[in-house]
């Protein structure tokens, strides 16, 4: 059994420059963009709808990404679409939602079906984004349900760009380490 596998003919498509830790599980219709990274203990399950993870996005340890299928209760279903340069913190749940570019999802946050985070959204640790909720970009959002707290500072906006790039560099170091270990 492999940690990257197909389901009912749906196969993961992983860019050669992406990095997936060997303890992560990636199943089904999942696309990982260039320099994306998936860290230890993650489950990314595109078994009943698609999951798209954009370039330079990182999905950190213990996070779970899943989808909703097409039904009379959810016409069209709900895929997960995470755009470029997004940081998904440890133990986050993304379920059938869309995260636009340069967002940071704090540790333990939950984002549910058909929710949308606009670009440059900072979602605080432990927050809950309810089904269909739209978070306006350029703000810090906190709580359960998530509420807009204040506009992001210039420094915070810079950090959202920095942290995604930092994870690209860290994934490169992990790839180099595993290549080095394999040659020993």
Residue 173 predicted with pLDDT over 80:
yes
- Is residue 183 pLDDT above 90, yes or no? no
Query: Cα separation of 100 and 135, whole Å?
Result: 10
Measured CA angle at 39 (ends 38, 43), to 5 deg:
70
Q: Is the pLDDT of residue 180 over 70?
A: no
pLDDT at 118: 98
CATH fold label, 4-182? UDP N-Acetylglucosamine Acyltransferase; domain 1 (2.160.10)
Tokens read off for 135: 């978070």
Q: Where exactly are the structural domains of the chain?
A: 4-182
> Which are the contacts of 159, defined by CB distance < 8 A and separation ≥ 6?
104
Residue 145 CB burial class (10 angstroms; 0-12, 13-18, ≥19): exposed
Interior CA angle at 23 toward 11 and 123, to 5°? 85
What's the rounded Cα separation, in Å, for the pair 10 and 176?
30
pLDDT level of residue 74 (50, 70, 90 thresholds)? very high
Label residue 127 left, alpha or beta by phi (over 0 means left) and psi (-120 to 50 means alpha). Answer: beta
Contacts of 151 (CB under 8 A, 6+ apart): 138, 139, 140
User: ∠37-141-164 over CA atoms, to 5°?
Assistant: 20
d(CA 22, CA 36): 15
What CA–CA distance (Å, rounded) separates 65 from 99?
Answer: 12
- Asked if pLDDT for residue 169 goes beyond 90, the answer is yes
Mean pLDDT, rounded, for 119-123: 98
pLDDT per residue over 9-42, tens digit each? 999 999 999 999 999 999 999 999 999 999 999 9
| Beta strands 122-123; 104-105: pairing state | parallel
Place of tokens 């606009």: 118
Tell me the pLDDT tens digit for each residue of 75-108.
999 999 999 999 999 999 999 999 999 999 999 9
Pair of tokens at residue 69: 């299928």
């Amino acid at each position: 059994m492999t940690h990257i596998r197909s389901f009912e003919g749906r196969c993961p498509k992983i860019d050669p420059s992406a990095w997936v830790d060997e303890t992560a599980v990636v199943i089904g219709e999942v696309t990982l963009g260039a320099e994306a990274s998936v860290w230890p203990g993650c489950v990314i399950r595109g078994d009943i709808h698609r999951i798209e993870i954009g370039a330079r996005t990182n999905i950190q340890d213990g996070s779970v990404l899943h989808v909703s299928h097409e039904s009379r209760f959810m016409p069209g279903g709900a895929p997960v679409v995470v755009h470029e340069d997004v940081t998904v913190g440890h133990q986050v749940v993304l379920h059938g939602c869309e995260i636009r570019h340069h967002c940071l999802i704090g540790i333990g946050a939950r984002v549910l079906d058909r929710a949308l985070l606009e670009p440059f959204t900072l979602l605080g640790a432990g927050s809950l984004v309810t089904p269909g909720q739209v978070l306006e970009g350029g703000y810090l959002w906190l709580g359960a349900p998530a509420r807009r707290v204040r506009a992001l500072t210039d420094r915070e906006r810079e950090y959202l760009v920095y942290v995604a790039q930092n994870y690209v560099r860290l994934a490169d170091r992990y790839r180099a380490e595993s290549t080095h270990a394999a040659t020993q």
